[in-house]
């Protein structure tokens, strides 16, 4: 299904008409939507896993770095990791919103993903990663953090990312289970409807034969 909007103004020099770009919608079944959301979650988890691997490599580099000379390169790598975490966070928020708007799962389901995945990722990005970025930016200043402090915080980042990844893995499994249950319920409803139709036809045929 596609839709396009058109608007005409009331300009004194003459009416002007403008058209929007065409938006295309695709209507899918609940089970298909569940599969699409599961695929998105798996892709986002793979991206965060790669970012976590880079965060661990950055921790190792911080231990042997010659500060402040290496600070600029370390900061560049950190910014890439933080940007990826931010993009994954918003991708998960979009998936959660899609589930809520389409009434996939109940309020408890939505609360779980908000508490175990979205909120920890927000804290990771807004707190730990932001403080690490500020620490790397200020290594040349008199009150700069020590190298051990930077390494310690990077270890916290790695551990936080690992915890979120574990929660995302559990969330993927949950979505997959819900999807399978939905298909089972749909199959049961189909069998029940077919059975009722068959009974009705048999009942009608008895009276028709008389």
Q: Return the SS3 of 162.
A: helix
Question: How far, in Å, CA of 82 to CA of 77, rounded?
Answer: 9
Q: What is the DSSP string of 28-40?
A: --HHHHHHHHHHH
What is the pTM for the complete model shown?
A: 0.73
Top pLDDT among 102 and 150 is at 150
Instruction: Please say whether the beta carbons of 1 and 152 come within 8 A.
Output: no
The pLDDT of residue 45 is above 90: yes
Question: How far, in Å, CA of 177 to CA of 77, rounded?
Answer: 37
The fold of the 29-170 domain, in CATH, is 1.20.120
Angle (deg, nearest 10), helices 30-64 and 147-209: 170
Question: How far, in Å, CA of 85 to CA of 79, rounded?
Answer: 10
Instruction: Please say whether the beta carbons of 161 and 51 come within 8 A.
Output: yes
Closest CA to 55 of 166, 172, 153: 153
Q: What average pLDDT is seen over the chain?
A: 83
Report phi then psi at 18, rounded to 5. Answer: -135, 145
Task: Cite the beta strand spans of 96-145 per DSSP E.
Answer: none
Q: pLDDT tens digits for 70-103?
A: 999 999 999 999 999 999 999 999 988 988 888 8
Q: Using a pLDDT cut of 70, give the percent of the chain over it.
A: 79
- Sequence ranges of the domains in the chain: 29-170
Residues 6+ apart with CB under 8 A from 123: 160
């Amino acid at each position: 299904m596609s839709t396009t909007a058109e608007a005409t103004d009331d300009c004194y020099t003459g009416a002007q008409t403008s058209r929007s770009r065409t938006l295309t919608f695709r209507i899918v079944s609940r089970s298909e939507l569940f599969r699409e959301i599961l695929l998105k979650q798996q892709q986002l988890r793979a991206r965060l896993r790669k970012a976590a691997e880079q965060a661990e490599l950055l921790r190792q580099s911080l231990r042997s770095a010659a500060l402040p000379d290496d600070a600029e390169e370390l900061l560049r790598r950190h910014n890439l990791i933080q940007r990826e975490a931010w993009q994954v966070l918003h991708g998960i928020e979009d998936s959660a919103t899609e589930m809520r708007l389409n009434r996939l799962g109940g309020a408890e389901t939505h609360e779980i993903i908000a508490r175990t995945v979205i909120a920890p990722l927000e804290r990771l990005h807004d707190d730990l990663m932001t403080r690490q970025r500020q620490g790397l930016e200020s290594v040349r200043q008199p009150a700069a953090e020590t190298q051990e402090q930077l390494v310690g915080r990077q270890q916290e980042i790695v551990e936080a990312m690992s915890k979120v990844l574990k929660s995302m893995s559990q969330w993927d499994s949950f979505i997959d289970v819900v999807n399978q249950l939905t298909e089972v319920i749909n199959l049961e409803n189909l069998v029940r409807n077919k059975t009722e139709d068959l009974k009705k036809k048999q009942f009608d045929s008895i009276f028709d034969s008389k």
